[in-house]
Structure 1
Amino acid sequence: MTSVQNPVPETTHALNVAIVPDSFKGSARASEVAAAMAEGFAKGAASRACEVEITAVPFADGGEGTLEALIDVWGTEAIEVQTTDALGRRVLSRLGLSADQQIAIVEAAEAAGLPQVSDVARQPLDATTYGLGALVAHALDLGVSQIILCLGGSATTDGGTGLLSALGAKFVDANGDQLPAGGGALENLASIDISELDPRAATVQWQIACDVTNPLLGAKGAAAIFGPQKGASQAQVEHLDGALGQLAEVLEDATGRVLREQPGMGAAGGLALSLGSYFDVELVPGWELVAKVLGAHEILDGADVVLTGEGRLDSQSLDGKVVSGVLAASGPGCDVIVIAGSVDLDDAQLEESGILAAYSIAPGPATLSELSTDALALVQRTAFSVARTYLRK
């Protein structure tokens, strides 16, 4: 957390400014964006002779970038772990650890993400969360009492069976043979052997950050909604939906827990299904989970004006992302201003959302590469202009 204060006469009432941006993915970490916004706004306020008290906190929505946002605030470094990607190839991934070493933050995208397998044709039936399980196992080795698992950006639709396999579970067919990795093989699932399942996984507190409300199966389920972006054809979508249905049946028979209709269970290819069947897990909206860890509600509730932002402000930003969380958590009468790489909301959408104003950092015609290269300088410059415009002498 960064605090910046401009020295001005004590008789002037200080404006309380909260800065809580997401990362500009592919361009800058949330901590860098927060610092750039704070510096730009502080300079703009000084030029207007206005007293401001700025609290800047890097933020995330529980998906990609959450690990970086939390370790930046915790003041810790990411821990590298040798594991495998969604196609089983060796890869070096990361997990985060809180300052007291009791909370581990694990991102699905770190060991089961689409970017890691973008160099080959997508394999939706075979992609596995097994490598993610290695990150979880390492967190358990570190002796943590809580694991925050961030869904989002996965290349998988395996119902979390790969993760549970890495922790010792065996998913077998009617002949007792262990199934190959991936969601496609689950159509042949007959039973699950948990005799060697790591007992430590039942002793930690599980929180799963999820920013969608899709159920596991059906027209709004994991395969139908998210399968195509992972490379699944219509036939493969139907295959995966049936396979996840079979997994749900076997898990329900084994544990008595019926989770298929629970909101959010369709996120990241049903990743939480296997975990939630055997362990007590809490699915939390990503924004809410991060807000609780960072104490963001207290920061936002006391703010007169909030600056937030992300790489692209569009309709998705208003549905479970950082911007929507900021709008929901800001106190009454607080002005919310967005700084983004691009703004793809019209005036009516902005007004209806409650956003006071939205600014693009683009100074003119520019390519995405150009904006990415200069993102932080442009964010700072835009925040300076926002302060100059918003504040009065």
Structure 2
Amino acid sequence: MKNNPNVLIAPDSFKESMTANEVSESVAKGILKVYPLANIRKIPLADGGEGTIDALISGLHGEWIKTTAHDPRMKQISSTYGWIEDRKTAIIEMAKISGIELLSQDEKDPRITTTYGTGELILHALNRGCRNFIIGIGGSATNDGGAGMLQALGARLLDESGQPLKKGGLALSQLQVLDLSGLDERLNDCQISVACDVTNPLLGEGGATYTFGPQKGGSPQILDELEAALQHYAVHLESSTNRKIVDLPGAGAAGGLGSGLMALPNTVLQSGFDIIQEFLDLKSHIQWADIIFTGEGKIDHQTQYGKVPAGLARLAKPYNKPVIGLAGSVGSQTALLHDIGLTAIFSILPSPMSLEEAIKNGSQYIEQTSEQIMRIYNSKNS
């Protein structure tokens, strides 16, 4: 029997239940009941959305930076972003300042909401000496194509009277001049990685407006107006940057913020998981491990599209490491996940129960399930 297996614990959060850190702690408790001398590495992960800052701060020993910026309705509020001093790297989740969860139902209106605050966070990080950005885009309240973000960073968006354009997606229909020459010069010395877990283009039926606009308060008529405004904006954006942006996968993410960020120098759109695993050097931890635990709230056929368990399994497969997926709910069509490297998938729930009960006792169930899995592992390696 090996008394001290190397165990890598690298889950995503269980949405609305446990953070990735909390999941990791519960898995570790279960493992230690079977292997008190196990060597455990806990590396909480994320896919670019909620939890991205937590994952990178935890993995790279960073810190939280507090500041104030403008929310989607241009109200000044407190906000935060992550900072990794030795890498001069800022990790920004746009949802923390331009997100839909910051607004009440009555405040949602994609015609006037703006990404201006996201630009302010970028500017604040530049003032700290930032030279590398990871920007997670998702959960936005906006449909302005990143125009507000560009304005905060020094771009000029003018109407036919030469006046600065109003904030919000609808105002883009009045755009006559998009001048990027005033963008903060320090951006030229920065690398910007945009963590994006959707592949929507900017325009069209599968674009920013029609795909995500309804959840932001857009009626069919409003969506048609916003789409026309984005089409007008897109012409200026591609002309000003001399780049083909509109059809890039991810350009439509976060109400088109993906497209606006592509107007900045040295910017790349990537899967959130890919960015995080590179920064954390996840491959080296996989090579070290004898067995790997991962998980998320629900594992199903959608997990293969950029989610943490699938990304981790793909990385581990060439090394023939067992990868165990834990979830509150396991959906159908998971055979594909086994093909890409997930050895086995377990629901943590011991019996049928309400969602409220599952959330309340989630940490206990994860601990119990992890213990039982390690008892199986023990029997095979004793």
- The TM-score with structure 2 as length reference comes to 0.91
Q: CA-to-partner distance for each residue in 1:87-138, whole Å, 9 max, x for gaps?
A: 2223211100014160000001111111111453421222211111111111
Listed as ranges, the matches of 1:88-99 within 5 Å are: 88-99=74-85
1:135 counterpart (113, 121, 125):
121
* Structure 2: 5+ residue stretches without partners: none
Identity of aligned residues (%): 40
1:87 match: secondary structure: coil
Q: Which amino acid aligns with 1:164?
A: L
Q: CA deviation at 1:266?
A: 1.4
2:354 matched to which residue of 1?
Answer: 367
Alignment check: 8 A CA contact 2:317 2:341 kept: no
Q: Structure 1 residue 279 and structure 2 residue 265: aligned? A: yes
Q: Structure 1 residue 32 and structure 2 residue 32: aligned? A: no
> Number of residue pairs matched?
379
1:132 match: secondary structure: helix
Counterpart Cα distance in 1 of 2:184 and 2:336: 49
Alignment check: 8 A CA contact 1:209 1:289 kept: yes
Counterpart Cα distance in 1 of 2:368 and 2:161: 65
Greater Cα shift, 205-214 or 299-308: 299-308
* Structure 1: 5+ residue stretches without partners: 1-7
Alignment check: 8 A CA contact 1:301 1:329 kept: no
Distance 1:215 1:347, change over 3 A: closer
Q: Which amino acid aligns with 1:109?
A: A
Alignment check: 8 A CA contact 2:191 2:266 kept: yes
Q: CA deviation at 1:205?
A: 1.2
1:182 matched to which residue of 2?
Answer: 168
1:376 match: secondary structure: helix
Counterpart Cα distance in 1 of 2:278 and 2:103: 33
Q: CA-to-partner distance for each residue in 1:40-95, whole Å, 9 max, x for gaps?
A: 1232345xxxx754322111111111011111222233111111221222321110
Counterpart Cα distance in 2 of 1:294 and 1:116: 30
1:387 matched to which residue of 2?
Answer: 374
Q: CA-to-partner distance for each residue in 1:175-194, whole Å, 9 max, x for gaps?
A: 22222211122122111234
Distance 1:204 1:92, change over 3 A: same
Q: Structure 1 residue 54 and structure 2 residue 44: aligned? A: no
2:13 match: secondary structure: coil
**RMSD in angstroms over aligned alpha carbons?**
2.2
Q: Which amino acid aligns with 1:26?
A: E
Counterpart Cα distance in 1 of 2:67 and 2:151: 18
Counterpart Cα distance in 1 of 2:227 and 2:283: 38
Q: CA deviation at 1:353?
A: 5.5
1:3 matched to which residue of 2?
Answer: none
Alignment check: 8 A CA contact 2:310 2:342 kept: no
1:357 counterpart (344, 353, 374):
344
Distance 1:350 1:199, change over 3 A: closer
Counterpart Cα distance in 2 of 1:99 and 1:368: 40
2:68 counterpart (82, 96, 99):
82
Q: Which amino acid aligns with 1:19?
A: I
Alignment check: 8 A CA contact 2:12 2:295 kept: yes
Q: CA deviation at 1:306?
A: 1.8
Q: CA deviation at 1:329?
A: 0.7
Alignment check: 8 A CA contact 1:302 1:331 kept: no
Q: CA deviation at 1:166?
A: 1.3
1:154 matched to which residue of 2?
Answer: 140
1:18 match: secondary structure: strand
Distance 1:25 1:347, change over 3 A: closer
1:307 match: secondary structure: strand
Q: CA deviation at 1:361?
A: 2.6
Q: CA deviation at 1:240?
A: 2.3
2:313 matched to which residue of 1?
Answer: 327
